[in-house]
Amino acid sequence: MRAYTRTFLASSAVAAAALGAVAASAGLSSAGESADVPPPVVEDFSYPGAEQILANRGILLVSGDGHIQLIACGQAGLIEVRASGTNDHDPDPGHYCFQATGPTGVLKLKLDNAYQVKGDGHAVQATIQVQGQTSTVAVDRNGWTGIGYGAGGNHPATLLELRATP
C-alpha cells in the first residue's frame, strides 16, 4: 500500500506541474485569467502635468475632480490667487487663475506665500495653513479676500485647497 501511495502522490505532482506549465505557456494565471490583460485602471484624481506646472509656475497641483483648472489669466469670471516669492516663470509671476467648469469643484494644491484669493460667481472656500494651523476661509464672490499677510497677519499662508459650490 505504501508503494502505491508514493506512486500516486508522485504522479499527481507530475500532473500538477504539467498543468501549470500548460497554463503558463497559454498565458493563463492560476485563476484562468490571461497574463496579457492589464490591471484595472483606478483613477487617483492626480492633476495631469503637475510636475511640469510645478517646474514652470512654482505651484504644486495635487489632485481634484477636474472642475477647477489652472488656466491663463486675462478673462473675467475666474478664481484668482496672488502669491509672493514663488518660482513662477509666467510673465505675471505670482498670479494664478483658475476656472471652475461646473457648479461644484475641488482642487488640492500647495502654494506657499499666498496672500489673496479672488472668488468668481461660486461660493469659494480656500483651505490654508498658517504656522502649522489649518483653517478654511470663505472667499468673497467676485471680490478679493486676504489670507496670511494679506489678511493683516504676521505670517505667510500656504494655500492647500480651493472648493467651489453654487
Closest among 157, 161, 163, 129 to 62, alpha carbons compared: 161
Please report which helix (H) or strand (E) contains residue 96, including its range. strand 95-100
Q: What does the pLDDT read at residue 40?
A: 57
Q: What does the pLDDT read at residue 7?
A: 40
Q: What does the pLDDT read at residue 46?
A: 74
Q: What is the pLDDT along the chain (166 residues), one digit of tens a residue?
A: 444 434 433 444 444 444 344 344 444 444 444 557 665 555 556 788 899 999 999 999 999 999 999 999 999 999 999 999 989 999 999 999 999 999 999 999 999 999 999 999 999 999 999 999 999 999 999 999 999 999 999 999 999 999 999 9
Instruction: Compute φ and ψ for 158, nearest 5 degrees.
Output: -110, 120
The dihedral over CA atoms of 108, 110, 113, 115, expressed in degrees to the nearest 10, equals -10
The dihedral over CA atoms of 118, 64, 74, 78, expressed in degrees to the nearest 10, equals -40
What is the three-class DSSP state of 69? strand
Q: What does the pLDDT read at residue 49?
A: 87
Q: Tell me the C-alpha distance between 111 and 161, whole Å.
A: 9
Q: What does the pLDDT read at residue 48?
A: 81
The set of long-range contacts for 71-77, using a CB threshold of 8 Å and a minimum separation of 24, is: 71/97, 71/98, 71/99, 72/97, 73/97, 77/120, 77/121
Q: What does the pLDDT read at residue 36?
A: 72
Q: What does the pLDDT read at residue 137?
A: 98
